[in-house]
Structure 1
Amino acid sequence: MLLKNLWCGKMSLRVGMASATVFGLLLLAACGGDSGTSALSDNGTSSSEEIQSSSSSPKVESSSSFILSGDSHEESSSSSSVELNCSALLEGETDWNWNVPKECRFNSGIAYDSMTDPRDGQIYKTVKIGDQVWMAENLNYADSVKTPSLLKRSWCYNNKAENCAVAGRLYTWLAAIDSLKLATDAANPQDCGLLKSCTLPDTVQGICPPGWHLPTDTEWIILFTEVGGESTAGKALKSQTGWNESGNGSDAYGFSALPAGLRYSGGAFGLGGYYAYFWSATETYSNPRYSYHGDADDMYLFSSYEETGLYHHDKGSAISVRCLKDGMSSSGEKAKSSSSNKDEAVSSSSNQSSSSNEDNEIDGDRCWDMPKEAYLNPEIDYGSMTDSRDGQIYKTVKIGDQVWMAENLNYADSVKTPSLKGKSWCYKNKTENCAVAGRLYTWAAAIDSVKFATDADNPQDCGYGKTCTLPAKVQGICPDGWHLPTKTEWETLFIEAGGESTAEKNLKSQNGWNISNGTDAFGFSAIPAGFGRTWIPEGFYFFYKGDYAFFWSATESTEYIGNIWAYSMELDYDYETENLDGSYKEFAHSVRCLKDL
C-alpha cells in the first residue's frame, strides 16, 4: 500500500503488508528530556526548549562508572562507583524493561573499548567488528545550542529523560545528518530538508562526535556481512536480554542493539521492546515520476526475526543513531554512500520549499480544472440528498442494497461540530479544491471524536494513539440518516462492484486520473483527491492529487501496535484492484457517507 511504502517500509506500491504480516503491522515514524538534569515540562522538553548549553551540560557517567556484579568482568572508574547486581535486576525479566540500566545489557564476554564525546563529556562503549569500529550503544547527544539541527527534532522515548539514559535519544533524519550544518557549508551548501533531496558527501558526520560519522547503506551492509549475512545478522547484533516475545539475540560481536522503538512523525511513541531502528546517511528515492523525497534508509532489528536488513522511514520519524568511526571499511576502501551512485541526483534547488504550507504539495500531472459534476458518469441515473446542516446538495447512487454519496463530503462547520477544528483541510488549502473534491479529514474528525468524548452515557476518548469501542453504526461527520462506512460495508461494496480483481477500475471516475481512468460502471465516481498529513514540527503537506483516493472507514485497525491506525479504502492511479488496509489516523483522507438502512 502506498502509505506504508512512503512512511515505514521498503514495500513497493500495493505490496502492503504481505511481505511480512506481523513485521509490517508493527511498523506502522523522540522525547524532550535531556540526558542531563534540566527540569522537564509536561511534554518532556526541558525548560529551555530542549536547548542544552555547553556551559551547563553535565558530564554523564558512563558504564565505566559502575561495578557490574554477577558478570564475568568488572569495570571501575576514578569517579564514585555504584554497584549494579545485573543478575538480580534481570531475574525474572523476559521482556523489555526501561528500568534496567544499559550497563546490564552489554555482553559480559566482550572486551569493549570506549570513547568520550568531547562536546558533552559522555562516554560510550565501542566495539570493533571486522575492520569497522562501532559505538556499542545509542547516541545520546542533545545540545541544540552547539547543534541547532537538534532543536525540536530529538526526543527521549515517551518523553522521559531516564529512557535516554538507557537507550539514547531518538532523532529525525534531518537531525541525524545535521541538516543545518550541510545547509551552511561554505564550499558546498546543500538543502537536505524534508521533501528535498541533496547530494550528500561520502562521509556524513551528522550529529556524531568528531572522528565518527553516520553510516551509509554500504557500511551497514558491510556490518551484516561481517556478522554472518542478513539472514542471521539480526540475532548476532541484538542484545542478549530485553527483547519481547523471546526475541533476544546472541550479541556475538558486542553490538548490543536494544529495542528502543521509535517516535512516529505524528508524535506518538511505539514499538519499544519490539524494534530497533538506526538511521543511514542514505536517502530513499521513490518513484522518479514524483518529486517525493520524504524517506531515508535505516537498519532494522525485530524481536521475532533473526534476520535484519535495510528499511526506510519518513524523515520526520525519530529513531536511534549508531555512529561509526572514521577510517577504512572491511573492503579496504572508504565506504561510499549509495546516494552518490544515483543515476540522476536531484538538485535541492529544484525541489519545493517546505517553509510554506501553502505550497507543500507532492502532486500528479493533472489539475482540477473542471467542476465536480464533470467527474460523474453521464450514463448513471443519480439521486440526490441535501445536508440539512449547511444546505449542500450531494449526488447519490444505489449500488446493490447500499446507497452511497457519489461525491466526497465537504462539511466544514467546526462550531456545530468541534471535532473538525484544525482537523480538516481543502487540498493545498484552496477552497476551490474543496468545491471539486470535498474536504480531507483526520480519522478523529471523521468519527466526530468530540461527540464520543462528551457522550453522557458512554464517554470515550477515541483518536490518534487511543482505542475505544465504537458502536456498530458511527454517524461521525456524516449528515443525519447517513454514516461513516465500516470495513465490512466497504467490502460489501467491493463485492457488488465486481470483486477484488476489478472493483477499483469500476469505482474510479472516467476522467481526472493520471495514467489510468476508471469505467465508473456503478456511478461511485471516485476522483483522485490525494491526501494530507502532518510532519512535526515541519508542517502540513498534501500528496498525490491525480494519483490516489483514500476514504476513511469507521473501523480501527487493532492489529497495529500503538492504536494509531484505522482502515481506509485506497484507489490507485494504475491498478484495477482495490485495497483496504490500515492508515495513520492523523492522515487526512476523503469521506464518503453511506445511507442508513
Structure 2
Amino acid sequence: MKKDFLCVLSLLAVLSACHENTLSLNLDDVSSCSASNLSSSSRSLLNRNSSSSWTPVGNSEDPGFACSESTKKLGLFIDSRDGHVYRTVTIGNQVWMAENLVYKNYNHEDPYAYSWIEAIDSVATGCHSGELFVYDGIAFGNCPIARPAQGLCPDGWHLPTADDLQALVDFAGGPKYAGKYLKSTMGWEGVGNGVDCFGFDLMPSTKDGFVEILSSDVRSYGDVITLVMSKYNAHAEFSTSMKEYAFGNVVRCIQGEGKKGLDLQIHRAENTYTGTFDSLIDARDGHVYKTVDIGGWVWMAENLAYGSKETYTYEEMIDAPVTGCYLDSLIWGDDYGMWNSCSAELPIQGICPDGWHVPSSYEWNVLSAFVNGLDNADDFAKGAFTGQMLKSTSGWPSGKNGLDAYGFGAKPANGEDEVRFWSSTDSPTKWDWFGNIYMVIGADSAGLEVYEINRYNNSGYPVRCLKDGENQQPSPYIYSSVGCDKPTPYSGAYGLVTDERDGNVYRTVNIDGTVWFVDNLKYDVPGGLTFCNCGDTTSCDAWGRLYPWTEAKVACPAGWRLPILEEAQHLVAFTRQTHYDLGGCNYDGDLLRATEGWKYEQGNNMLGFGAVPAGLKYFELDGFSTVTEEYCNKWPWEVNGGGGRASFWLYSDTLKRRPDALFLDESSKPIDLSSASDVKTAYSIRCVKE
C-alpha cells in the first residue's frame, strides 16, 4: 500500500514538472488601442462585459444524499512550486482542492487564511490594497483582473468565480443544505459538524465558527464576494466585504487554466464628435434641447433650462413635492444635515421631462467608463480622460478646453473652471452628513465626488437629463441565500399531573423522550425554607417557588424527581440541534422560553418547555437559621441585579463538591449548564418523571 502511494506521488511529480512555466501578464502585455473618429454607436453601454452571470438556486427540501465513501471521488495533486501535496475531489463536473491552499501564506497565526489582496496575487495584477488601481490615466475602484483569475493557485488551477461557487452549492443541496454536505465531520463547535458527503472536508477558519471561501469576483465598488458557512446552520450563503477588509479567508482552488495580470481593453476616441444630434421638446414649456446617443444611452447635450433657470437646488432637482425628499425631513435632531437617505426609488425623474430622469451615480459612472474607452468597467472610479472627452471645445480657461469626443458639450459658468452636475444618488459625507454624489468635471480632471448639502450649503447646480431605457440601473447582486425557518410556539397536547400533597396541578411535556414539568414547582416544603419567586411579585405561586438545595432534594412529588445533569445536557443538545435545523437565527434559548413574561425579548416556546423568568435568590441566615437578608438576581455586594432569568436545580450525587443548575436568560449566552452553590442560594424546580 505504501509503495503504491509513493508511485502515485512520483507520477504526479513528473506531471507537475511539465507545467512549471507560469503564465504571467504584465502591464506592457496589455494592448491599448485607440480608434480614430470612433463613433458612439460602434460600442454600446448596454452590452458591457460582466464577470459573472450567476443566479440564485434555492432548495427548500433536504436532498438527503446517500453519503458514503463511494460518493467521494478523490485524487492527489502536487504543487510544483513548493512540493505541497493536496487532496482533490470531483463534485459534479468540477474538480476542487479538498484542502485549503497554503502557498505563500503570510498569516503566521493561521496558515490557511488569506486576504483577497494576497489571494489575487497583487504582485502580478497590481491590485494593491488601499489605493485606486491606475492604468493609462484611468483610476479604478476595482482592479480589472484577468478572468478566470489564477491568483495564487498553481498552474492548471484558478481562484473560483462566484459562478463556480454557486455551481458547487447547487450540486451539494442548495443554499439551505449545502453546508451540511460540504462541511467536515469534525472541528465545528456544538452541532455544527457536517457529513462531508463528497470529501470537500471544509473546516472552520479563525472567524469564530465560520469559514469564508474567497472568490475572484469583486463587485459594487470593491466588495469581494465570499461563500460563508457557519457552526449555526447548514446554510451556504454568499456575502461581501470591501477588499481591504477581506482577510482571514480560505482559498480553495478549482481545476482549470487561470490567467494572471489584467483583463482590459481600451477603445478611446481621438477627435471631436462629428455625428448627429437629435432633439427633445419639453412639453411643459416648449423648450427644445439637443440630445446625443452615447453608447446606446441618450443624453441631453445641453443643460436643463426648465423654469428659465440654469441651476437647481437639491429639493428642486429631486422634485421634493413628489418624492418627499425635503432637506428638513432628512435631519436628525438639532444636527441639521446629518445623514438620512432619501427613500425615493431609482430612477428618479426629478425635475426632468416625462420619459427622462436625473442620472444616478451608477449611470454617471458607466458613462465615464465608456468615454474613457472601457467596455467592462461597471466598477470604474474616475479617469483623467473623462473631462477631456466630455468637455466642450470652448468656454474653459485658457488651455483647458476639451475634445468633446461624444457631443456632450460640458461647459462651466462664466469665470469658473469646473462644472458640477447633480445625480439622483445621495451619500453620507465624511462626517456622516447628508450629501449628494456629483459628477464633477474640472479643468484638469473629472469624476464622482461627494459633497455635503444643508440649508447653508444648498447651492444650485446644473442638471443633465438621461432618457429612460432598459438596463440603465445595475443588476441587483442577488446571492444564493436562505432565511431561517420561523419557529412556531408549541401546539401539542400537555399532560397533567396532580400533586396529592397540596392539590396543585402541573402541565407536563415530553421533549425527545424525557417528560418534564412545564410549570415551576409550587410545593411549600413543611418545616423547610422556600421563597416566593423574583419574577412575579403578584403571587407567590404564580411562577412557582425558589428552593435552597436542602429543600430541593426532597421537593418533587412521588413518581417524579430532580433532573440529572445528563438529562439537562440532552435537553440542551436537542434544543441546539433544533435551533441549527431552523437556520440558527434566534438564540437557542428562545425555543425553551415562554412566549410572555420576559422583560425584553419573549421566547417562542417551540419545544413546550415554557421557561419563565422566576429568577434566583441569594439569602443570609443568622445563627438560628432565620433569614436576615434576601437578594433577588444579585449578590449582596452588587449594586444592580441582572435581568430576567430562569434557573433550575439539577440532581447531583454526594461525590460532587457542588450541585449543578440549568440557567436561561435573554443575553447572548441564553443556555448555560454550570455548577451552583449549595448554600445561600435558591432556584426553581422542574421535576422529571421517574
Please report the TM-score for the alignment, with normalisation by the length of structure 2: 0.29
Please report the TM-score for the alignment, with normalisation by the length of structure 1: 0.33
The structure with higher relative contact order (CA 8 Å, sep 6+) is: 1
Structure of higher CA gyration radius: 2
